[in-house]
Amino acid sequence: MRRPSPNVSLTEDQIRSFRENGFLSLPPITSSEEVNALRATFTRLFAGRAGMKEGAYFDMMSVEETEKPVSPQILDPINYAPELRYTQFRANVKAIARQLLGEEAGISLEHVIVKPARYGAPTPWHQDAAHDPRIDKQCSIWMPLQEATVENGCMHFIPGSHLEGIYEHASPNNDVRIHCLETQGEFGREKAVPCPVPAGGASIHDARVLHYAGPNRSDGDRFAYVIVCNVLRKGKPKERQFRWMAEKQTTRIARELAWQSRGGRLIEAARKLRKALYDPKRAAIKLRRLSEIFLKRA
Ligand code: NI
């Protein structure tokens, strides 16, 4: 299969707006044919609960997997649908990330989320960077596979909040069995800006900007495909893990650990190798960063 070349680029004004506000909305960055093909692929993956046993499939808002998940998602769906490697969306995401984060930016991970029609749950306010102290320069490119509206759960952002450091987070209702995080205390939610975007458009956000996605009150399922890009950080962060992440006890983590101990680590290694072969430039940066840490220690 042929790898498409990027066909969008951000203007200086868009880049400046992203730096000031921590987010940006874009008109379609891929074709409607590709949006339809992606929707068909993800409908198939969700129907089969692809990646369930390895912890890649999970319900972000529930304690355990039920027949009627309220916010199911799949991590790295590319592992179950190799055709995702050759999308126009992916080519444009890489080009946009290089413009926003610098030439060393590359794809870190991806996920797809569906909020089912009429009962899809809201995603609480949070900062992505609250998940892992190693997150440094990072942005997410969130593309809805139908129009994203306030009614069906588009993204909301608090402009400028990416400049304020990491807020205190906790599991919703302090239930450590729930996968996601929720920002604690006061953070100016009255300043929230909803970001409706057309199908195949995108809302891009910095890892530190406070964001939220509403419930789906519409009659159609709301799909969003998200690719996360970053620049691999130099040196080791001071903290290994945030307290609110260390205390998590989700069924997703339990399934992942069980899978890894039953031979999953081999599959993971093979996937890492395939990723490196597909993106040798990023693999070389990764090796360089690791050797820098090793040499400092030696
Ligand atoms: Ni997020």
The model's confidence at residue 240, banded by pLDDT at 50, 70 and 90, is confident
Q: Residue 74 in 3-state DSSP?
A: strand
**Distance, CA of 236 to CA of 292 (rounded, Å):** 10
The CA 172 to ligand 1 mean position distance, Å, reads: 14
Distance 150 CA to ligand 1 centre (A): 17
Q: What string of DSSP letters covers 169-223?
A: EE-GGG-TTSSS-EE-S---GGG-EEE-B-TT-EEEEETTS-EEE--B-SSS-EE
C-alpha 193 – ligand 1 centre gap (Å): 15
**Token pair for 200:** 């195949």
1-5, 158-162, 207-211: segment of lowest average pLDDT: 1-5
Q: Per-residue pLDDT for 293 more than 90?
A: no
CA of 153 to the centre of ligand 1 (A): 13
Q: How far apart are the CA of 126 and the centre of ligand 1, in A?
A: 6
Beta strands in 67-122 (DSSP E): 72-75, 106-115
* Residues less than 5 Å from ion ligand 1, measured at CB: 128
Cβ contact 167:185 at 8 Å: yes
Instruction: Identify the bridge partners of residue 197 per DSSP, sorted by sequence position.
Output: 148
CA 132 – ligand 1 centroid, Å: 12
Instruction: Please determine, for residue 298, whether its predicted confidence score (pLDDT) is greater than 90.
Output: no
Cα(282) to centroid(ligand 1), Å = 23
Q: Which residue has the higher pLDDT, 103 or 67?
A: 103
The tens digit of pLDDT for each residue in 108-156 reads 999 999 999 999 999 999 999 999 999 999 999 999 999 999 999 999 9
Q: Is the pLDDT of residue 94 over 70?
A: yes
How remote is the CA of residue 128 from the centroid of ligand 1, in Å? 5
- Residue 162 CA, ligand 1 centroid: distance in Å: 13
* Contact indicator for 182, 156 with CB cutoff of 8 Å: no
Distances (CA, A) of 281 to 8, 101, 212: 22, 16, 33
Give residue 211 CA to ligand 1 midpoint distance, Å: 6
Indicate the DSSP class of residue 247: T
- Ligand 1 centroid to Cα of residue 108, in Å, is 14
**Could you tell me the distance, in angstroms and rounded to a whole number, from the CA of residue 297 to the centre of ligand 1?**
34
Look at 63-72, 97-106, 165-174 and tell me which has the smallest mean pLDDT: 63-72
- pLDDT at residue 14 greater than cutoff 90: yes
- Contact between 205 and 23 under an 8 Å Cβ cutoff? The reply is yes
Residue 63 to residue 126: CA distance in whole angstroms: 19
Q: What is the mean pLDDT of residues 234-261?
A: 91
Q: 236 alpha carbon to ligand 1 midpoint, in Å?
A: 23
pLDDT surpasses 70 at 159: yes
State the distance from the centre of ligand 1 to the C-alpha of 7, rounded, in angstroms: 26
Phi, psi of 154 (to 5 degrees): -75, 170
Q: Could you give the C-alpha distances from 70 to 115, 116, 122, 157, 172, in angstroms and in order?
A: 7, 7, 9, 22, 15
Give residue 149's pLDDT: 98
**Which residues, at least 6 apart from 2, have a Cβ–Cβ distance to it below 8 Å?**
86
Going from the Cα of 198 to the center of ligand 1, the distance in angstroms, rounded, reads 19
70 closest CA partner among 213, 207, 192: 213
pLDDT tens digit sequence for 45-55 = 999 999 999 99
